[in-house]
């Protein structure tokens, strides 16, 4: 049967500890198991521990106010999660769903103090991993606001709207101009008595005038429909740009606050551990002299 010390040795985050250090830490941590489909913690729950996966897989996700689900990360064996709430003692920032049966090590703040005492450099590793996760989360949430304005509008187009767009685009092209110039030239040539045939619309070309007028009326309607759709497209584009800017600003501000808080906490903890080490090192000569 695998012991907790052996489990720690199989996790990359604790692989730098020697056997004695792992044995000391193994006496403090707990082994927990969760079946597939269960929730380890939910968004807003109090956070008192972090987890290191021995086996299995979990899914960390959050939901927007509209109920849309965003998967932040899917930790596997050897990965850790839940460290943000453990460090700042705040509520959980995401929900953790068990995708495959999980066996994990549960580490509380006391265990973390013991780890940092044994290996102070682990604090920097934890801070680095946390910063990467926060950066990835901010990127995901910011990209969630980034939508393609063409997809947003085009998906709602009817057959009439698609036809109007095509006609409006084609009527403003050079092929449309060349086709009409050719038609008008042939029409006029056939009706100025140059050839013995034709002459179905003599000068001043009343039939041609009526056809052109009808075409202009029909084209103007389609162009107006297309312009109305362009106005709607610009409105959607403006809403998307506002959402992107707002979410980017909020996430960057939140990221700075998290990093600053964690940096201050890690530095304070390292200073306390160094102070304890210095105090214990200075007391030893005094005892020897007495």
Domains recognised in the chain with CATH numbers: 4-129 (2.60.120.10), 149-254 (no CATH)
Dihedral, CA atoms, 264, 269, 271, 276, nearest 10 degrees?
Answer: 170
Find all residues with CB under 8 Å of 86, minimum gap 6, and list them.
47, 48, 49, 50, 107, 108, 109, 112
Tokens found for residue 141: 């949430």
Q: pLDDT in tens for each of the 290 residues of the chain?
A: 466 777 777 766 666 667 777 777 777 788 889 999 999 888 888 877 888 888 899 998 887 655 567 787 888 887 878 877 777 777 888 889 999 999 888 888 777 777 777 777 766 766 776 676 667 666 665 555 555 555 555 556 677 777 877 888 888 888 888 988 898 888 888 888 777 777 787 888 888 888 888 888 888 888 887 777 777 777 777 777 777 777 777 778 777 777 888 888 888 888 888 888 877 765 555 544 44
Spatial distance between the Cα atoms of 236 and 149, rounded to a whole number of angstroms: 6
Spatial distance between the Cα atoms of 212 and 181, rounded to a whole number of angstroms: 12
CB 104 within 8 A of CB 52: yes
Whole-model pTM: value is 0.45
CB 218 within 8 A of CB 208: no
pLDDT of residue 287: 46
Cis omega before residue 13 (within 30°)?
A: no
CB 72 within 8 A of CB 43: no
Spatial distance between the Cα atoms of 30 and 182, rounded to a whole number of angstroms: 86
pLDDT of residue 168: 81
Spatial distance between the Cα atoms of 288 and 88, rounded to a whole number of angstroms: 41
């Amino acid at each position: 049967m695998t012991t907790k010390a052996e489990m720690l040795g199989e996790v990359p985050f604790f692989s730098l500890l020697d056997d004695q250090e792992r044995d000391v830490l193994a006496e403090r941590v707990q082994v927990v198991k969760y079946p597939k489909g269960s929730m380890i913690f939910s968004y807003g729950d109090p956070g008192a521990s972090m987890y290191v996966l021995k086996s299995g897989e979990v899914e960390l996700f959050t939901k927007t106010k509209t109920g849309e689900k965003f998967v932040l990360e899917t930790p596997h064996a050897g990965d850790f999660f839940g460290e943000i709430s453990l460090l700042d003692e705040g509520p959980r920032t995401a929900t953790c769903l068990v995708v495959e049966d999980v066996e994990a090590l549960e580490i509380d703040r006391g265990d973390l103090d013991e780890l940092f005492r044994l290996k102070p450099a682990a604090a920097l590793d934890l801070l680095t991993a946390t910063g990467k996760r926060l950066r990835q989360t901010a990127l995901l949430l910011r990209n969630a606001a980034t939508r393609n304005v063409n997809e947003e509008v085009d998906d709602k187009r009817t057959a009439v709207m698609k036809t109007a767009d095509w006609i409006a685009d084609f009527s403003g092209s050079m092929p449309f101009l060349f086709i009409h110039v050719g038609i008008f030239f042939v029409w006029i040539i056939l009706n100025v008595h140059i050839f013995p045939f034709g002459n179905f619309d003599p000068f001043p070309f009343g039939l041609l005038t009526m056809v052109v007028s009808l075409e202009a009326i029909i084209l103007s309607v389609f162009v107006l429909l297309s312009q109305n759709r362009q106005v709607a497209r610009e409105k959607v584009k403006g809403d998307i740009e506002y959402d992107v800017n707002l979410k980017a600003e909020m996430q960057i501000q939140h990221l700075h606050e998290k990093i600053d808080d964690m940096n201050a906490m890690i530095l304070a903890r390292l200073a306390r551990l160094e102070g304890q080490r210095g105090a214990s090192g200075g007391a030893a000569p005094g005892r020897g002299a007495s």
